[in-house]
Every structure is written in C-alpha cells, then in structure tokens.
Amino acid sequence: MKKMVVRILGFWLISVNIALSQDAQITNIQNRNTFSLNGKWNYIVDPYENGYYNYRYEPYDQMESMSRSAFFMNSEAKGSELIEYDFNNASTLLVPRDWNSQEKELLYYEGTIWYRKLFDYKKKKPSNRLFVHFGGANYQTDVYMDYKKLGKHVGGFTPFNFEITNLLKETDNYIIAKVDNKRKAEGVPTLNTDWWNYGGLTRDVQLVEVPETFVQDYFIQLAKGSYNEISGFVQLNGKEQSTNLTISIPELKINQMVKTDEKGLANFTFKISKVVLWSPENPKLYEVIVKTNWEQLSDQIGFRNIETRGSELLLNGKPLFLRGISIHEENPIRGGRATGIEDARMLLNWAKELNCNYVRLAHYPHNEYMVRLADKMGILEWEENPVYWTIQWQNQETLENAKNQLKEVITRDKNRASVIIWSMANETPASEPRLVFIRTLIDMARSMDSTRLISAALEKHQKQDEPLTMVLEDPLAESIDVLGMNEYLGWYDGFPEKIGKVKWEIKYNKPLIITEFGGDALQGLHGDKSVRWTEEFQEEIYNETIKMMVKIPQFRGVTPWILTDFRSPRRTLPNIQDGWNRKGLISETGNKKLAFWILKKFYDEMELKYKKN
C-alpha cells in the first residue's frame, strides 16, 4: 500500500462536514456478512492531544471548514519536511485488546491513543452498502476515514457503527480511531470506580456489508405474560421503506408476512403453538429468519417469560431461585479485558462449576459473546448500565449519556433469552436528583422492552439506635421489579461473628437479590478464620452470610462478589493485593479458594430444594 505519513498539526481531524454521533445501530452482527479488521493496528500515543489541535491550538472539530491541502499536503514526505508522526513506522497493538495489558509503559496510561488500520475491500455487489462496526471502545472514540470524520461515540462498553459506502476504494483504505479513556467527572461511569480503566479498541472491529435496503433492527419475543403469542417489530434502513417481509420460525412451521410502513417499521403480533420454552435446564434456541426481497437474516432466539408475583420470581410460571455470581469482563489469567468467545467460555464455565444458573455482568455491558454464549449454555443474566456510585445527577449531558448507553445495550441484547434483568445503577447514594435521574432511565427501558425486569443495587442503612438491625428503605425500590442490595457484613462492617446477629427490615413485597457480599482472600494464604486476608476468613464470611440470607423472607437470589480476582488501582496493599481486588473465589492463576466450595454446596442444596417445590 502507498506510504502514508502523518504530520504534526492534526492529520486526523480534517473534515468539512463533521458528524457528532454514530449512525443508527445495526443489530445481529454475528449473523451478517462481515469482514474482520481485527489484528495488528499501528498506534501513536498522544497524551498532549497534539493530533487534535491546529497550530493556533483550536480544536479542528470546532472549525466549520478547512482545505484538505492546507493540512494534509502530500501523502509522502518530500525533501527535508519536518515530520514527527509516522503511522507506517509506529508500533502495533492487537485489536481487540486493551492497551494497558499489552505494553508495560501503558499499564496506567489514561489519555488518547490514535489507531490506524489499512485494508483492501471489494463489495460483493456494487449497490450494497458498507459499515464499519465497533463492538466497543473505551471511552470516547472519534473515527475517520479518507480525510473525513465519520463521527464520535461516547461510552466504553456498547457497540457503534458508521457508514463508509461512499468513501470505500477497493485498495488503500484506512480507518483511524482516536480513543481516549480519560475518566471524567461528568462521565458514565464517573471518576471513581473499583476496576481497571482499560483503554483501547477492546472489542471486535468489523466491516458489515448489507443490501441497499436492509434489516437494521428487530425485536422478536414472547409477548409479556403469554406463551402462545409472539410480538415485536422489524425496522428497515434504505430507500425501499414500504414493503412486505416474512418472519419465519421453520421448526414451528411459522411463516408470517408483515408490511412495513413508509418509515420502514413493521409492528406485529402472531400466534404460535407447541413452543419449547427456554430455561437453564433446557436452553432451547430456535432459528428465526427475517426475509425481505433483498436479504435473509437469521438469528438464534429462545422464548421464555420472566415475571414477579409478590416476592416470588417466576420463570415460565415456575418459582425461580437465582444461584449466581458477579463477573467482571476480565481475563485474570492472561490479564486485561476479556475479548473473545474463549474468554467468555472460561468465565461462564467457572460459573457452571459453581452450579450457577445466573450471573451478574458487572458493572457495565459485557461483550456480546457473553450473552450469546449464555443463551446456549442456559445461564440467566443481569445486565447493568454503568451508573456507578456518584454520578452528576443534575447534569443533563450526563443523563443523555446514560440513556444512550442503556439504549445501546438494550438494542443489542433484547432478543437474548438469557437476559432477564436490566439494571439501572449500582450503589448510588439516595437523593432527589438521583431518583429523578434513575427513574428517567427506568421509563426509557420499559418503553423499549416490557418483557424483562428492572432492578438496581439499592441503598441500605443501619436502624437508628439499633446497630444490629439493617434497613432496606430506598424510594427507588418503588419503581423497580426486583430489589438488589449489596452488603459487606464481616468485611467492611465488623467481623464474621457479627453476621449472624444482624436482622433485616425490608418493607417491600418484591423479590430480593443480594447483589454483592464477600471479603478478600489471597489465594494460598492460610491461617485462623479470624485473620483477615486468609482463605479461612473469606470462607467464614460465606458460611455466616449464607445462614443469614436464607432467613430473609424476600430472598430469591444472590450474586456474591466476585467470580475471580480482578485488577484495581485502588487496591495497593503490598504482598496481598498488589493492584488486585482479592474478593474473587478464583485467583488470577485460576486456583479456587475455600469459599468457592462453600458457595457450590449451598447452590447444590438450593437446586434440590427448588426442584422439589
């Protein structure tokens, strides 16, 4: 390919018409015609944002127009031109991966890195359209191609795409992505978290080729409360908006025709019979096909109902106890952000070894591999929007950011049977602005998907003058379907012997999931159960907490914190933490701690109990 040299004074940001956001989200990427851009990308570290400003130190994004020749000049250096950036001779990073775990110098780096990928591509049909799709990039990503800015995406864990049909050449194409993982006070999440701020193109980057008019999105699920009725929508994108299409489920002998309106939207409801319901015991998936005059798009969809009745949690009408574990999107053994199907399989297989039927994907949307694999393995899931701790509740831009991230994960995963709960937030201090903020998210989630449950990890407090009575009394509880609650008795609150003395007051007649409990243990460190950091101390917390939880009338599930030890810059105790949160049941070497077996025993007992009921 022709050599391309990058000059100082902002090679990357030249654009006459600058887009501020990504194109409408395309779903079901895994079943479409794609071309991988994964692999080695050249990169340039830019902590001072030199690539973002011109010589007057004005952001290029704020300039209305500019001449291409004024800043690009020629593609190659001539004579003694001063050149200080050169992608061709730059080092490479693997995509998808975070940058922190690939280079020692980038371990704690927070700032901008510019990525570039060169590629050739010829469309299968001249009239087809082409999009570049990013599975996720942390945190703000500005994308460019052929001197044009495609757009910007904010949020580190949800997918986005841009159309590049009119920019594509058969050879010598390049995509440039400016990825900035700096934490921001107004961000979602905000400045303070308890996980590693992995930066970079952390998920698959792919070209997606589609017909001129294509199926952009669809929702095909059992109608809420029904076992013989499918409802949903199909949304087309393209010139031919008003047309007939069919929705087929061959195994059920369904071949339903629907018509889209002038905006390409078709809403539908139709009857089915003899459907095998999806469950952890029988994770049945049907091939579902949406067919137009231009394409045939298939998906693998399970049908099931999730609901509550008082304090009961019901799956397909039967009482359900959620035997769960919390998971971070991290490969503890390799180190760094989990990326592909093998990472997902490792984490979910460990959950299966615990006899889990459920996982909490904390504290942000995980890779799509996790939810699709959970569909196949029969593992229920809680998906969480990264509204974490102290968000700027009264900042309208922060609210719009949170809404967009929630919208993107619901759009991506609304057809996955494994996903039963959309979580709005985690451990957010109670206030009226927080209540307004999160209720706005709840309203949006319900408008997008009425078939799933809504939850959040709520606030609790100690009862005044009764230090051994804990109270769950959060006004947000009135707006959600399932109560979530984190508690760390025995670790942050007293010692394990306190756990059995505590009583709970919970006034809400709703199912309760203990969304976090636990304590730290360095795997291999043994001693008396009264000594912190030992496996025996963590084991005792699990023993005592299990005995306490089963006494709570609303108790219908638990996701202890956490499956594996994970990286956190907050955790610095030498020779114990060394940059790791040690609350995992499995170490970064893959070794199981004593508490793992305590939890498994409890889950084996609960499985038998619910089978008998």
State pLDDT tens for residues 114-159: 999 999 999 999 999 999 999 999 999 999 988 788 999 999 999 9
Instruction: Give residue-wise pLDDT tens across range 316-336.
Output: 999 999 999 999 999 999 999
Q: Are strands 380-384 and 358-361 parallel, antiparallel or unpaired?
A: parallel
Domains and CATH numbers, the chain: 11-210 (2.60.120.260), 214-304 (2.60.40.10), 316-612 (3.20.20.80)
Mean pLDDT, residues 374-394 taken together: 97
Identify the CA nearest to 93 among candidates 109, 74, 75, 77.
109
Q: Which of 484, 408, 481, 424 is nearest to 450 (CA)?
A: 481
Structure tokens that stand for 384 in this block: 């969480």
Alpha-carbon gap, residue 176 to 117, rounded angstroms? 7
- pLDDT for residue 65: 33
Residue 413 has pLDDT above 90, yes or no: yes
Tell me how far apart the alpha carbons of residues 595 and 601 are, in angstroms, rounded to a whole number.
10
In angstroms and rounded to an integer, the radius of gyration of the C-alpha atoms of the chain is 25
Q: State the pLDDT confidence band at 82, using cuts at 50, 70 and 90.
A: low
Band of the pLDDT at 9, cuts 50, 70, 90?
A: very low
By the 8 A CB rule, do 265 and 242 touch? no
What pLDDT is attached to residue 355?
98
Taking the C-alpha atoms of residue 330 and residue 334, their distance in angstroms, rounded to an integer, is 9
Q: 78 falls in which pLDDT band (50, 70, 90)?
A: low
Q: What is the pLDDT of residue 336?
A: 97
pLDDT of residue 83: 66
What does the alpha-carbon distance between residue 388 and residue 408 come to, in Å, rounded to a whole number?
18
175-201 pLDDT, tens digit per residue, is 999 999 999 999 999 999 999 999 999
Q: What is the pTM of this model?
A: 0.94
Between CA 251 and CA 262, with CA 256 as vertex, the angle to 5 degrees is: 140
Identify whether the C-beta of residue 374 lies closer than 8 Å to the C-beta of residue 302. Answer: no
Phi and psi at residue 462, in whole multiples of 5°?
A: -80, 135
Rounded distance between C-alpha atoms, residue 548 and residue 550, angstroms:
6
3-class secondary-structure state, position 431: coil
Give the per-residue pLDDT at 61: 53
Q: Above 60 in pLDDT, residue 71? A: no
Q: Distance between CA atoms of 366 and 136, rounded to whole angstroms?
A: 9
Report the pLDDT value the prediction gives residue 67, as an integer from 0 to 100: 32
Out of 84-88, 240-244, 567-571, 589-593, least confident range:
84-88
The token duo for 179 is 């990825």
- How would residue 1 be classed by pLDDT, with cut points 50, 70 and 90? very low
Question: Percent of the chain having pLDDT more than 90?
Answer: 87
Find tokens 């500005």 and name the residue.
Answer: 142
Residue 168's pLDDT is what? Answer: 97
Q: Is the pLDDT of residue 578 over 60?
A: yes
**CA 555 to CA 320: how far, in whole Å?**
11
Confidence (pLDDT) at 77: 56
Q: Tell me the pLDDT of the chain averaged across its residues.
A: 92
pLDDT at 221 over 80: yes
What is the C-alpha separation between 6 and 72, in angstroms, rounded?
8
What is the spatial distance between Cα 209 and Cα 130, in angstroms, rounded to a whole number? 5
pLDDT tens for 428-446 read 999 999 999 999 999 999 9
Residue in the structure block whose two tokens are 């978290």: 193
Q: pLDDT digits over 499-537, tens only? A: 999 999 999 999 999 999 999 999 999 999 999 999 999
The least confident of 41-45, 71-75, 344-348, 566-570 is 71-75
Residue with tokens 């058969």: 170
Per-residue confidence (pLDDT) for residue 49, from 0 to 100: 84
Percentage of the chain modeled with pLDDT above 70? 91
* 443-500 pLDDT per residue, tens: 999 999 999 999 999 999 999 889 899 999 999 999 999 999 999 999 999 999 999 9
Confidence band, pLDDT 50/70/90 cuts, at residue 85: confident
Whether 84 shows a pLDDT value over 90: the answer reads no
Structure tokens given for 1: 């390919």
Predicted local confidence at residue 76, as pLDDT: 53
Q: Does position 75 have pLDDT exceeding 90, yes or no? A: no
- Please name which of 328, 379, 373, 372 lies closest in space to residue 354, comparing C-alpha atoms: 379
Burial of residue 274 (CB within 10 Å: 0-12, 13-18, 19+) is exposed
pLDDT score at 14: 34
